Amino acid sequence: MLHALTMDYALTVPALLRRTRAHFRTKHITSRRADGTLTRTTYDALLTRAGRLAAALRRLGVQDGEPVATLCWNHDRHLEAYYAIPAMGAVLHPLNLRLGAGELGHVVREAGDRVLLVDAELVPLAEGFLAESPITTVVVVGGGAARRPGWLDYDALVDAEAGPLDLGAVELAETCAAAMCHTSGTTGHAKGVVYSHRALVLHSLTLATADLFGLREADVILPAVAMFHANAWGLPYAAAMVGADLVLPGAHLDARGLRTLLAGERVTFTAGVPTVWLGLLELLDAEPGAADLSALRMVVVGGAPMPQALLDGLEGRHGVCRCIIPGG
């Protein structure tokens, strides 16, 4: 008698990260620091640190289903939180650092965040809403934890955990909340949108399909879209799922720095809002041939309509890539 193997496989972030560690542990993650220097690590090393972060958050009292706020730029420490928080059963809540302190205070109160991970250079913004928020624990990324008594240093917190949580071994229902983002550009207060584990995995699978972005292991992906913007359009999870190298640009998306990363890291896929690419196009027009961007196979433009001049410039004058607008 034939017996069918079970196909009841939970679509969760832990399952996704289990695949990453099994098949792509040596693939690279490059991150640009605030001073412009680059750091390099592997998925294996980063997931170990993410496991230590998860253990530290558990020790700080973070429970299953509880949101943990991040106020950070696109860098490797933020990526650790991206993987650790949902994989441990909590809910990733990246805050929109373009909002003012008053609106951020509303967002944090609505979500009920008790723990905040914040970049050192964004501490002044956080100080504008902390006093009237439910946040009781502040963890500062990149130094500056001594600004207030009781604040914690991110690296010291993570390094102190000798026993990292095995993120791939956590059993969760795929319908559990994994992440939450808040809308922007609305007429009223920002509104929270919650993503399940299943939604994140299905989104990652969709980004890998040939008729959309066709993300693959051979890609080098640079998310120029902010990590608070709809989970960086799903790229941190999709990259881990397919085993693509990741390049994280940090806080500054100036055209010259972005061009240096695209050329130096041989980026094949990138995505961001039109403003980013208009600045890059202006630099390319001013200094034609100054950088080799021939590795780029696709630029995704979203968040606002793409001007025809941008498409004509990047594809027509410089031939750097195929530009597409999601859903357009």
pTM for this structure?
0.94
> Tokens standing for 207?
């980004």
Under 8 Å CB-to-CB from 88, ≥6 apart: which residues?
Answer: 54, 57, 58, 62, 64, 165, 167, 170
Domain locations in the chain?
13-252
- Please, which pLDDT band fits residue 308 given cuts at 50, 70 and 90? confident
Query: What's the confidence (pLDDT) of residue 272?
Result: 93
> Tokens standing for 24?
């792509």
> Tokens standing for 254?
């100036």
CATH number of 13-252: 3.40.50.12780
Under 8 Å CB-to-CB from 278, ≥6 apart: which residues?
Answer: 307, 310
Check whether 3 has a pLDDT greater than 60. no
- How far apart, in whole angstroms, are the C-alpha atoms of residue 19 and residue 17? 5
Q: How confident is the prediction for the chain on average, in pLDDT?
A: 92
- Please, which pLDDT band fits residue 127 given cuts at 50, 70 and 90? very high
Query: What's the confidence (pLDDT) of residue 266?
Result: 97
Dihedral, CA atoms, 203, 20, 240, 137, nearest 10 degrees? 100
Going by the DSSP 8-state scheme, the letter that residue 117 receives in this structure is E
- Please, which pLDDT band fits residue 328 given cuts at 50, 70 and 90? very low
pLDDT tens digit sequence for 237-293: 999 999 999 999 998 889 999 999 999 999 999 999 999 999 999 999 999 989 999
Q: What is the mean pLDDT of residues 306-313?
A: 87
Check whether 159 has a pLDDT greater than 50. yes
> Comparing C-alpha atoms, which of 183, 209, 207 is closest to residue 98?
183
pLDDT tens digit sequence for 16-60: 999 999 999 999 999 998 888 999 999 999 999 999 999 999 999
Q: What is the mean pLDDT of residues 66-71?
A: 98
